[in-house]
């Protein structure tokens, strides 16, 4: 079991470039989410998904797109990178069948710098 994997681990982009952060999980979890972590602000939810084909926005969705074509994968796309998107990005998954009190399993993170 690899758990939650994220690639790449580090990335430097120029303003205006686009890219996709990859996230995969092998635990057959329905619920997946993307967070960004900035100093002094904890983790903020960008987008989440409750199953293949079903996604919704979190607190800070602007500038990011997601899709969920399979249970395993949940990529995050930056459409036109901006310096404000410099952050550490975490993907998480959990088993959450319209229920509560679930544990989220986090990936190791992607450190993104936009210059």
Partner 1 sequence: TQLLEQSPQFLSIQEGENLTVYCNSSSVFSSLQWYRQEPGEGPVLLVTVVTGGEVKKLKRLTFQFGDARKDSSLHITAAQPGDTGLYLCAGGSISNFGNEKLTFGTGTRLTIIP
Q: Which residues bind partner 1 (CB under 8 A)?
A: 4, 31, 33, 35, 40-45, 48, 50, 54, 56, 58-59, 90, 92, 96, 98-104, 106-109
Considering the complex, what minimum distance in angstroms separates the CB of residue 16 from partner 1? 29
CB of 56 to partner 1, least distance (A): 6
State how far the Cα of 9 lies from the Cα of 22, in Å rounded to an integer.
Answer: 10
Smallest gap from Cβ 97 to partner 1, in A, equals: 8
Token digits of residue 91: 């993907």
Burial of 53 (0-12, 13-18, 19+ CB in 10 A): exposed
User: Helix, strand, coil shares of the chain as percentages rounded to 5?
Assistant: 5, 50, 50
Q: Tell me whether residue 81 or residue 107 sits nearer to partner 1 (CB atom).
A: 107
Find residue 66's DSSP bridge partners.
Answer: 76
Nearer to partner 1 by C-beta: 12 or 41?
41
């Amino acid at each position: 079991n690899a758990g939650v994997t994220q690639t790449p681990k580090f990335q430097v982009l120029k303003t205006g470039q686009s890219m996709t952060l990859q996230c995969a999980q092998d635990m057959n979890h329905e619920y997946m989410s993307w967070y960004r972590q900035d100093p002094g602000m904890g983790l903020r939810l960008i987008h989440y998904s409750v199953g293949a084909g079903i996604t919704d926005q979190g607190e800070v969705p602007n500038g990011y797109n997601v899709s969920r074509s399979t249970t395993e994968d949940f990529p995050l796309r930056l459409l036109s990178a901006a310096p404000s998107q410099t952050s550490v990005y975490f993907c998480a998954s959990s088993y959450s069948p319209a229920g509560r009190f679930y544990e989220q399993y986090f990936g190791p993170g992607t450190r993104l710098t936009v210059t």
